[in-house]
Every structure is written in structure tokens, then in C-alpha cells.
Structure 1
Amino acid sequence: MSPLDPFLGRTRIAYLSMEIALDPAIHTYSGGLGILAGDTVRSCADLELPVVFLTLASREGYLRQEIGPEGQQIDHPDPWELETHTTPLDAAVAVRIKGRPVWIRPWLYLHACPHGGCVPVILLDTRLEVNAPEDRGITDQLYGDGAALRLKQEAVLGIGGERMLRALGFEIETYHLNEGHAALLPLSLLRRHRLPADRPDRRLYSYDTDPVRGRCVFTTHTPVEAGHDRFPYDLVTCTLGDFFELDQLRLLAGEEALNMTRLALNLSGRVNGVAARHAETTRRMFPGYRVRAITNGVHVPTWAHPAFARLFQTVAPDWAHDPDTLLQADKLPAEAVWAAHAEAKAALIEEAGRRCGVMLQPDLPILAFARRMTGYKRPDLLFSDPEKLRAIAARYPFQIVLAGKAHPKDEQGKTLIRALHDHAHALRSVVPVAFLPGYDMALAKVMVAGADVWLNTPVPPMEASGTSGMKAALNGVPNLSVLDGWWAEGCEEGVTGWAIGQDGSPPGEHALDLYEKLETRILPLWHDDRTRWIWMMKQVIARIGSRFHSQRMMRRYATEAYLR
């Protein structure tokens, strides 16, 4: 009996993502895209949705971050034991890459939830002796270096993923592409729908796209231009050979280069962004396409600190399965909420001391910022005017905790990390600043629960959604954020948090508004009106925790995208 037998008869939806955060010990993710996919896995199990997930094995992980004495990021491999956490399956498929068959082996990870639901995750692996030595490492490292390797990885995920599902016995009706990395899958489907040469409605296209579009759902995640993969056609031809006619591919994916986002847009019948604001931005970037919005959410039982989980049980016994019931969180006793927060904060303080030697104080507020370290996230916005920070801290003392990795090739991101290190050193006598290395799923759980204020400062409209602020809100942590991504929907000024700037205000004004909010509203409230602060914490849980969760997100995908 195959371990897939319980799923084959009922599973009709396949979800493909280059990265999925399944467990802190399984290094198959780099950041928000993978974390979201992992929360999707967990909610599909909770809701018993008939979904199978596909990703790459990524045996070497993404990167393990070390911070050197001068604040420089030092990159290390981050391997994990595939054999320890997954089970090999008796199947193999091949994709022809650079004229050679590249064989792919599947590994199975099963995610089971406390209610008994379970979903399969298939990890695709090319490290096989039968493959040429230069092909064995295609799936080893998440987001491999260079366009040539990246295209090979996307061929394994899209073309190989579709073939693997058939080889394993799945009968898939709907394919969900999480970002454009899997856009070669609908192209693979399209090869079976060639139009007769004498068909009167055959004009530009040699293929009938309607059957493929009826089976594909595409979620785009990035309004950042560099986030849309493009491959020169000479590289595509060299890598994939005659897999698909070049003239037809240009019609579907762009004249100048293979744009994976445009390919997915043209071959998906349902397209959505990950927040209402992001859908608007995507429609401007790609005019002529209908782009709806399904706002991201987070898996509540995964991200709620155990102290808050115990509290939730007292007012909403079904909160883990039905987070909508967290509306009742405004009834929680104030003393119990503050005690739960103190427990979570103590864990963050201990983690900061262990990771970087900075000793934080439990009786001072902690501002936290944790993001991928790159320019448009503006991790240095808080430090735009160090003297102003000193003046604020003299009246209302506070502490700062930072974390985040820069992509190995992002020199600007690495420069920002060094700059944060310099700011921390310069401010250490007035404002304790802790940069915690090795930001991952495990550290994120500690930070979102232990902070007092969650800070987010991207340049709008470059934040697609963002979910870390949702996780913080589950633990009663108000957000202080630019009105972009999900926060444009979740912000109720002075209730769920505070906005940095007005909607549409120039980014150059954000630092001044950030300082004004800290000095005149946020820090005075924390220091001088604990009753109101705790009231606000309860509103944050009730109004955000009950709304921005992955159970609701997946119910929307099921009814609006899958069951069409």
C-alpha cells in the first residue's frame, strides 16, 4: 500500500510553490512566500481541503546567516536531512534539460492537524546517480545562483511537477500557481491542446488556451519589478530545446524575454493579488488583465504564543479551528492579557541575550522590525535622524529589536545590515538595539509574540501584503506601519495600531511622521496609560486575529477560485 492511497481518490487541487515553510527544521523556504505557503498547507489540513502541494527538495536550504564583528552578513549553507523528515516514493519522471533527461524523484511529507485532517506535500529531488553530475544539484539550493540554474529549477517545478502528479496517480482538476515560478506547468498542459490547422478561429495561436485557463489559478505576490522572473529566449531554447514553439511562446510570455508572470497571467483563468491594494498595483503593472484580490492570512495556532493560546481557550474554545471566534478576545481580563504578554516578552528578551548579547529590560517597550533586508523595505527608516531618536528616548525610554537576512547577491541589503550595526553601536548608551542573526520561522515566532510594537516601513506600493504584522496582532501587538499591503485594510488608527503617513503621502515624509507618532502617541500611551494600552491589545486580537487568518483565506480560494 502506498502512503498516497488515502489521497489519490479525493485530491483534485495541486498547489505549486518554489518554497514552503513546513517546519523550522526543514529549510525549504527563504521568507514570506514560503511562510505563506506553509500556513496554506496547515489550513488545508484543518479544513480537509483536497489539495496536494509540490515544491523543490532544496537539500542545501537557502542560507544560514552569521553577523560578523563589523556588522557584515556572512552566508553559510543551511542543509537539512531530507531522509529524516520525508519518505521516498516509488516513482520517477524526467524533464529534458539541455538535451539530457533529468530524472526527478519524489519525497513525501505529510502534514496532519489535531482535528485529523492531513495533506500531502511532494518534494522534487534531482540528486540521483542516474543524472549527469551537472544536473544532480538542480534542486539542491533554494533560488539557485544565476538565471540558467533558476530556469532549470522552474522547469523541474512546473514541467516536472505536472508529470510527477500524473505518475503518482493524481487526477488534478485545478492547478494553483503560487507566484510565477511554476508558470511552465500550464505551458506543459497547453501542449496537449493544439488547434487544427484549418480551424477558422485559429489566428495567432496554434493552441487552444481555454481548457488550460479553466484549470489554472495564479496568485502573484510581488509588485517589485525585479521579483518577476525573466529569461532570455536564447537561454530558454538552449535549456528546454523544442519543448514549445518559440513564436508561440513569445505571444504568451512577451516578445523580448520569457516573462514568467506574463505567461502565468495568459494561461490562468483566475488571477489574484494578495491584498486589495496589491491587486490595484498589479492591474497597473499589467493592464488588460482581470486581477482580483484575496488578502493573505496567517495560521492562527502556529503563530499564537502558548500563553495567549491558553487565554483564547477561555473565551473562544474553537479558536484554533475557527479563528473568526477571536472576536470574543475583547472580553479577556486585562490582567491575564498583560501576564501573557509578559511571558512572551521574557522569551524574546532571553533570545536577544543569547543571540547577540544585548540585555533588554522587561519594563521598557520593545519596537520590533523583522523583514527581508532589502532597499524598499527601508529597515533604516527608524534611524533617519539618530539625534531625534535620542531626544525621544530621553523622555520615553524604549528598546529596538531587528532581524532579517539579505539575499546573498543583494549588496544593498548587506550594506543596510552593516548600517544597522553602526546605528546600534552609536545609540547603545541611550537606546538598546539588538540585531538578532539567523531570522527564520522559529525566531519569528518569538519576535512577533514578544514585541510591544511591530514596525513596518516599506516604500509604497511595493509591499504586496506582508503577514508578520498579522502574527504580531494575534499576540496583542499593535502595528506601526506604512499604509500598504494588508495594513491598508487592517489599520484603525489608535485601535489596531497606527499609520505612518497618510494614504498616498510622499515617502520622504514618512520618517517625520514615524517620529511624531512615537513621541506624541505611542510611547506616552505605553508609559502613562497601561489600561488603555491593554484595551488596545485586546482590540488588536479581536479585530485583526479574527479576520486576517489563513482559514478565511483558504475558504475564499476554495469558493472563489477552486470551485468554479
Structure 2
Amino acid sequence: MANSIGESHATTIDPFIADTRIAYFSMEIALRPEIHTYSGGLGILAGDTARSSADLELPMVFVTLASREGYLRQEIDGKGRQVDHPDPWNPEKHAVPLPAMAAVQIEGRRVWIRPWLYVLTCPTEHRIPVILLDTDVAGNEARDRSITARLYGGDQVHRLMQEIVLGIGGERVLQALGFRISTFHLNEGHAALLTVSLLRQHRRASGYPGSAKLYDPDPVRDQCVFTTHTPVEAGHDQFEYALSERLLGDFIETETLKLFAGTERLNMTRLALNLSGYVNGVARRHAETTSRMFPGYRIRAVTNGVHVPTWTHLAFAELFQGIAPNWGHEPEILARADQLSDAEIWAAHTRAKGELLQVVNDRTGVSLDRDLPIIGFARRMTGYKRPELLFSDLDRLRTMAEDKPFQIILAGKAHPQDGGGKTAIEQIHRHLAQLAGSVAGVFLPNYDFALARHLICGVDVWLNTPVPPLEASGTSGMKAALNGVLNLSVLDGWWVEAWIEGVTGWAIGADGDQPDRHADALYEQLENKILPLYARNRPQWIWMMKESISKVGSQFTSQRMMRRYASEAYLR
């Protein structure tokens, strides 16, 4: 991979304080494979956001949890079942502790938060600070030292504690370190309590007494940007007010919370919606879906993107360098990729595919054929992603493979509490066993940052099968397209914007089709278009690869995304 971002072992926050004006809060951020402060797409996006912010020299600081025990290391047992393990990492190896600390009150106890400094450095040597919040501090009670230990770990009580540390504690840590932030960007609703902290500060500054009626939300809205990601109801954190009263105490009056977060429960998404002056979804279709879920709010659309140098295989990076030396900083120049020769494109893809097959063999002992097409699917394993859709008719898959052989690689973790997702993983292993001898397939365990960088560039077709309209955006397909891998996806999320049938890839069904039609539509595309094209018309396939890079890879980038945030959200 052509990863252009390194880490810097800076020992002080001082160089960053004077010029930094924007703070980006996210429960998870994927900084590098060895730092397990992410679970999936939300954290990967936040990491790409930080990398492009460094490239563009934006005056930003990023805030997240230290998550010393990581999220989840996935093991697959002999029966194809997911076994959950902690995935620890050591902050001392990659970050430095900062001298200032801040505290929050939780259930009346003072909980201290130590900030760690991690620094991203881009090729032009511009650096972006990342603050990792850690409650594993000697002065805290044992139960509080573990608040930031496991990403998304524990029950509702533990989750709200984490969100108190992130939203309220994170803002206090920035103050303690000397930052003077004018714009706060909330990446999903986990940090929404930051808005409540700002409400209190503005009321104190105005000299008003404690009546809830005298809170003025406008100064907070002027400061806050909110990006919502999930169109799934269960994805919006909600807490009983009895629990928030218990944990927050008198930090804020419940009647005030109900004004902004909903009368029945503390809805973190609604709290952020009501107290942010700029709100956006992460694709045009997702913004439309969010507007239907939360009518009355103006939901803009800033489609997600990926950090091009991080996700471009080295073989393709070398090609891009030849036609556009500044491609990493200005990826829109990759529109010229259609000028590359067929031989160059295929050689680069063959190199990436060979490396993936080596990873597969090393991890599973399975040997796949480099000359046969590979269909790749890697997602969080959960119901609405429909990881089993490809296996709806095993006999039909066998018949397809008799005439035009193909292979399948799958990967993905289920949340520890997602029984349905774990069942899907078990069933996928059963399906692969039933297809053995007809269709070669493998499930790669412990899908993570490092494995993703092999998968997205080494397969031939990237499959995406969510139930519409439940896909927020989806960025793995963008990474695949950047490396000439062709997308086969339901028309949802980002693909609605990037899809040109038979040019950048293929759609599964028509826009607005009922989900129960998607299995047949998927098979029709494989039988009638995709597998015949790969087997019989390699020049046309390579032409589509070049179109995918030039039309998709050049546009769906975090550089473009961050330029839009900077001009439309941060400079309001």
C-alpha cells in the first residue's frame, strides 16, 4: 500500500495549540493497524478524515477514546462460530501522555481523564494531533479505570459513561491543554453531550441563573457540526432519563435535556440535531433517508470519501505516479487513469491479487486460483447487510460455476451482542462447506485495517448487498474502485451516485426494487454479464477497471470530502 501518513513521536502539544480551531470528536478512529481504537467503517472514515486534514493543513485536533483493550479480535472455531477476544494495544508504544488532565463527575464520583498525544504526519510534513482519552488513571476507582478500556464494551450504563467521557470530558481536556476551539465536529451522536457542556458554559458567560428557560441554544449551534451515519433505528443511542440523572447528577437539568433530546428518552442523535447549526448525512440517499426519519431538520449531504494514498496498492501507486505526480494530494487528477495501458493495469491488478492469495493461503491453508475471478464481500456481519444473500440458491451457484468458474472470499466481524450476525457467520461457513468442490470459497477471520488493505485491491468484484435504504454510505467499495476492482451493489448509499451500468460496475436490481428481488437480480448479473465478461472479453473488463479508477477513484475521496466540510461547514 502507498500509505503516505506516518506517526510522529512529538512529546508536547504546544506546537498545535495556537493555530488549532476545529475539534473533531469520534468514539473511534483508525490511525494505523497496530492501534486498535476502531471497530469498523465509522472509525476507518474518521482515520481517513484525519489523514486528509493533515494533507490539507486544516487547523484541526481529533479526539477519541484510548480503548486499550480494543474492540474485538475474532477467532473462528472448528464449527464456524465467532469467538470474541479482547484486542489490546499499548498506548505507550505509539503515543505520549500529556501533563494536563481533566475530570468529570459520574454518579457523584470524580473521574480523571488522562490525554495521550498521537501525531499524524503527512508527506509535506504537516502534522495533526490526535488526543486519546484514558480513564486508566491511578487516582480513579477500579470501576472507573475501565470506562475507556473496551470500545463499545459493556451495557447501557457503561456506554453512557463512555459518552460522558468523550463529549464532556473531551471538551474539558482540550480546555485544560490550552486549545481555544471555535468549531466542534461530532462524528455520530456518541459525543452529543459536548453540546450540553457548551450550553452550560454559554449560560454562565451570559450571567443567567439556573433556569432551563434561559438556555440560549444559538451560540452552541454556531459552534457545532454534526454528521449522522446510521439510518438504522437501533444505531441511535438512547438512554432512560433515570439513568442520565443517576450518572450526570446535577450537571444539567432533565427538563433542559428533554427540550433538546426528546421527551421520552435521552436520544443522542436528536440532541445533536437540535444543537448543531450544520447537519449532514454521508451520501445523498442517506440524507434523504435521515430527513424522513427526523422531519423538520435541514439535513445536507456530504458523501464520504477515502484517503487515496492509504488505500491504493503500491503497484497502482507506481502507475499513478507516472501520469500524475501529485495524485496523492489532488486525487481528482486520477481522472487521467483511463490513459493507462491495458497491460499496465492488468499487471498491477495481478500483483495485488497474488498478494491477497498469499494472505489467504497463509491464514487458512486454502489455495485459490489467480486466473479465476474472485468475488469479495467484507462487512460488519449484521442482518441488514445481508451477508448470506449470495448463498440464497446454492444449486444455482453450482450451475454457474460449471460453465464459468469463480471463487469467493468473505470477511467480517459480528458485534459481541449481535446474535444474528454471529449466526450468519456460522451459516456462511456451512454454505462454503456445501459448495466445496464446485465453488472455492474462504472466510478470512479477524477482518481489520490491515486485512482490508489486501482484500479491497486483490479481488475482482466487490459485492455489497444491504437492505435499502439502510446503507448510510459505504466506503469499502470506493477503496476497491480506486484499485480497479469493479463494484456489484444494491443501489443504496454512495453507489447511487457512482454507478454507471457496465462502466463503473453493476447494480443489483433497479432503484426501488423490493429486497426480495435482489437475490435473483444478483444471480442474473453474475450469470449474464459479469462472469461471461471476465471469461470472454478481458479487454472490456480492463476498460471498466480504468473507468472505475478515473470516474470513481478520482471523486470519492476524503480530500474532496474535507474540502467540502472546510468550505461549507467550518467556515459558516
TM score, norm. by length of structure 1: 0.98
Q: Secondary structure, in 3 states, of the residue corresponding to 1:336?
A: helix
- Aligned equivalents of 2:268 and 2:380: distance in 1? 23
- For structure 1, list consecutive stretches of 5 or more residues without a partner in the other structure: none
Is it true that 1:83 corresponds to 2:100 in the alignment? no
User: Is residue 373–residue 416 contact of structure 1 (8 Å, CA) maintained in 2?
Assistant: yes
Instruction: Tell me how far 1:192 sits from its aligned partner.
Output: 2.3
2:142 match: 133
SS of 1:326's equivalent in the other structure is: helix
Residue number in structure 1 paired with 2:323: 315
Match of 1:8 in 2: 17
Matching of residue 64 in structure 1 with residue 59 in structure 2: no
In structure 2, list runs of 5 or more residues that go unmatched.
Answer: 1-9
Q: Is contact 1:195-1:207 (8 Å) kept?
A: no
Distance in 2 (CA, whole Å) between partners of 1:92 and 1:12 is: 20
Distance 1:129 1:108 in 2: 19
SS at match of 2:513: coil
Counterpart check, 1:473 vs 2:481: yes
What is the Cα-based RMSD across aligned positions, in Å? Answer: 1.5
Secondary structure in structure 1 of the residue aligned to 2:452 = helix
With over 3 angstroms needed to count, the CA separation of the structure-2 counterparts of 1:196 and 1:323, relative to structure 1, is closer
Distance (Å, rounded) in 1 between the aligned partners of 2:244 and 2:98: 30
Within the alignment, does 1:436 sit opposite 2:474 as a pair? no
In the alignment, does 2:214 pair up with 1:206? yes
* Correspondence 1:298 to 2:311: no
Q: Which residue number corresponds to residue 331 of structure 1?
A: 339
Say whether 1:256 aligns with 2:256: no
Hey, what does 2:393 align to over in structure 1? 385
Amino acid corresponding to residue 148 of structure 2 in structure 1: T
- Percent identity reads 65
Pair 524,193 (structure 1): closer, same or farther in 2 beyond 3 Å = same
Deviations 1:420-454 (Å, cap 9, x if unpaired)?
00000000100011100010000000000101000
8 Å CA contact 1:376–1:459 kept in 2: the answer is yes
Cα deviation code 1:266-313 (max 9, x no counterpart)? 000000000000000000000000000000000000000000000001
The answer to whether the 8 A contact 1:195-1:208 is kept is no
State the match for 1:147 in structure 2: 156
Q: 1:352 aligns with which of 338, 348, 360?
A: 360
Q: Aligned pairs, how many?
A: 562
Mapping of residues 240-255 of structure 1, within 5 Å: 240-255=248-263
Please name the residue that 1:342 is paired with: 350
- Shift in Å at residue 144 of structure 1? 1.7
Partner of 1:38: 47
1:159 aligns with 2:173: no
Partner Cα separation in structure 2 for residue 197 and residue 347 of structure 1: 61
Task: Report how far residue 129 of structure 1 moved.
Answer: 1.1
Q: Does residue 1:493 correspond to 2:501, yes or no?
A: yes
Post-superposition CA distance 1:390-442 (Å, at most 9, x none): 11111110000000000000000000000000000000100011100010000
Partner of 1:237: 245
| Amino acid of the structure 2 residue aligned with 1:124 | L
Contact 2:11-2:96 within 8 A present in 1 as well: no
The alignment status of 1:548 with 2:536, answered yes or no, reads: no
Alignment partner of 1:513 is 2:521: yes
SS at match of 1:218: strand
Q: Secondary structure, in 3 states, of the residue corresponding to 2:442?
A: strand
C-alpha distance 517-90 of structure 1, shift in aligned 2 (>3 A):
same
Q: SS of 2:130's equivalent?
A: strand
Distance 1:39 1:467 in 2: 11
Letter in 1 for 2:126: G
Q: Does 1:503 find its partner at 2:506?
A: no
Once the two structures are superposed, what CA deviation does each residue of 1:118-137 show, in whole Å capped at 9, x if it has no partner?
10000000001100111110
SS at match of 1:135: helix
- C-alpha deviation, 1:69, in angstroms: 0.8
Question: 2:366, 2:376 → 1: CA distance?
Answer: 14
- Find the aligned partners of 1:247 and 1:5 in 2 and give their Cα distance: 40
* Secondary structure of the structure 2 residue equivalent to 1:214: helix
Code of the residue aligned with 1:149 in structure 2: it is: H
Structure 2 Cα separation of the partners of residues 320 and 463 of structure 1: 28
Tell me the SS of whatever aligns to 1:435: strand
Matched, 1:222 2:230: yes
8 Å CA contact 2:102–2:172 kept in 1: the answer is yes
Match 1:115 to one of 124, 147, 151: 124
The equivalent residue for 2:282 is 274
Q: Which runs of 4+ in 1 moved over 4 A?
A: 195-199
TM-superposition CA deviations, 1:24-67 (whole Å, max 9, x none): 00000000000000000100000000000000000000010000
Give 3-state SS (helix, strand or coil) of 2:64's partner. strand
Q: 1:2 to 1:432 in 2, by over 3 A?
A: closer
Tell me, in whole angstroms, the C-alpha distance in 2 between the residues paired with 1:346 and 1:528: 21
TM-score (structure 2 length as normaliser): 0.97
Q: Is the 8 A contact 1:107 1:123 kept in 2?
A: yes
Residues 526, 533 of structure 1: 8 Å contact kept: yes
Task: Give the deviation of 1:194 after TM superposition.
Answer: 3.1
* Deviations 1:300-329 (CA, angstroms, capped at 9, x unpaired): 000000000000011111101100000000
SS in 2 for 1:194: helix
Give 1:197 deviation, angstroms.
Answer: 12
Q: Confirm whether residue 24 of structure 1 aligns to residue 33 of structure 2.
A: yes
Q: Which residue in 2 is equivalent to 1:526? A: 534
Moved more, 204-213 or 57-66: 204-213
Is residue 124 from structure 1 mapped to residue 112 from structure 2 by the alignment? Answer: no
CA contact (8 A) 1:206 1:248 kept: no
Structure 1 residue 554 displacement after superposition: 0.1
- Give the aligned partner of residue 384 of structure 2: 376
1:195 touches 1:206 (CA, 8 Å); kept in 2? no
1:205 CA drift (Å) = 3.5
Q: Secondary structure at the match of 2:214?
A: coil
Cross-structure match for 2:3 = none
How far apart are the structure 2 equivalents of 1:77 and 1:490? 37
SS of corresponding position for 2:143: coil
Contact kept, 8 Å, 1:24 with 1:442, in 2: the verdict is yes
Query: Which residue matches 1:176?
Result: 185
Residue 121 of structure 2 aligns with an amino acid whose one-letter code is A
Tell me the secondary structure at the aligned position of residue 108 of structure 1.
strand
Residue type matched to 1:162 in 2?
E
Q: 1:91 to 1:497 in 2, by over 3 A?
A: same
Is the contact made by 2:212 and 2:255 (CA closer than 8 Å) also made in structure 1? no
Q: Call closer, same or farther: CA 1:277–1:135 in 2, change over 3 Å.
A: same
**C-alpha distance in structure 1 between counterparts of 2:277 and 2:213, whole Å:** 17
| Cα distance change, pair 311–197 in 1 and its aligned pair in 2 (3 A) | closer
Alignment of 1:405 with 2:413, yes or no, is yes
CA distance in 2, matches of 1:305, 1:197: 54
In structure 2, C-alpha distance between the alignment counterparts of 1:387 and 1:357, rounded to whole Å: 26
Residues 1:198 and 1:366: Cα distance change in structure 2 (over 3 Å): closer
SS in 2 for 1:543: helix
Label 1:367 to 1:98 Cα distance change in 2 as closer, same or farther (>3 A): same
Contact 2:36 2:89 in 1 (8 A): yes
CA distance in 1: counterparts of 2:88 and 2:189, whole angstroms: 25
Offset from partner CA, 1:182-213 (integer Å, 9 cap, x none): 000011000123399999xx998330000000
Once residues 152 and 207 of structure 2 are traced to their aligned partners in structure 1, the CA distance between those partners, rounded to angstroms, is 43
Distance between the aligned counterparts of 2:144 and 2:256, measured in 1?
28
Compared with structure 1, are the counterparts of its residues 196 and 94 closer, same or farther at alpha carbon in structure 2 (3 Å cutoff)?
A: closer
Cα distance in 2 for partners of 1:184, 1:392 equals 53
Partner in structure 1 of residue 7 of structure 2? none
Q: Which moved more, 1:142-151 or 1:348-357?
A: 348-357
